[in-house]
Amino acid sequence: MDAEQKQKLADLCAQQHVGVLTTQGEEWPTAHLQAFGQTDDLDLIVIMLVDAEKYHNLLKRPHAAVVIDNRDTGDVSTLQVARATIQGLAKEVVRDSAEWNELKDSFLKKNPFEEPFFGYATLRMMRITPKRISYANGLADTFKLAL
């Protein structure tokens, strides 16, 4: 990924608080509107409760896709919408580890409305490392990457 591509993705991620997380269930894919954070390397950070279907899906089948877009501010009728599909591998972050605490601080800086969930002992955090990215902003500004 070159610097310009990384900046476009970073800008889109920074502007949005939620995306659609898709995981593979036993029989069906499942999609959930999901608050997310991101690292400087564009790993995506998501939180969920231990009894959530998406959590168990990611433990068994760590391949995930996250769609992030700005349809709320873009012009859908002319496809002037910035959007990215990030396919990656999810890995659980060990609760109360140094990594957990660092990612928690970053996640809550972006999404302070998620603070109450950190009071639950059953909260889990997953880090999704991108492996494939498809980006478009309108019809002309597009790229696809395999990382």
Q: How confident is the model at residue 116 (pLDDT cuts 50, 70, 90)?
A: very high
C-alpha to C-alpha distance for 141 and 62, rounded to whole angstroms: 30
pLDDT digits (tens, 9 = 90+) for 38-84: 999 999 999 999 999 999 999 999 999 999 999 999 888 888 999 99
Q: What is the mean pLDDT of residues 22-26?
A: 97
Burial grade of 98 (CB within 10 A; 0-12, 13-18, 19 or more): exposed
Within the chain, where are the H helices? 3-15, 53-60, 98-110
C-alpha to C-alpha distance for 93 and 55, rounded to whole angstroms: 12
Where b means 16+ CB within 10 Å and e means fewer, 104-139 reads beebbebbeebeeeeeeeebbbbbbbbeebebbbee
Residue 79 is predicted with a pLDDT of: 85
Q: What is the mean pLDDT of residues 7-35?
A: 98
C-alpha to C-alpha distance for 117 and 42, rounded to whole angstroms: 23
Instruction: Give the pair of three-digit tokens for residue 92.
Output: 């659980």
Residue 77 is predicted with a pLDDT of: 87
Quick one: how far is CA 20 from the chain centroid? 8
Q: What is the mean pLDDT of residues 93-108?
A: 98
Q: Please, what are the domains in the chain?
A: 3-146 (2.30.110.10)
Those residues whose C-beta lies under 8 Å from the C-beta of residue 72, and which sit 6 or more positions away, are: none
pLDDT digits (tens, 9 = 90+) for 71-95: 999 888 888 999 999 999 999 999 9
Cβ contact 134:141 at 8 Å: no
C-alpha to C-alpha distance for 108 and 122, rounded to whole angstroms: 17
Task: Give me the percent of the chain exceeding a pLDDT of 70.
Answer: 100
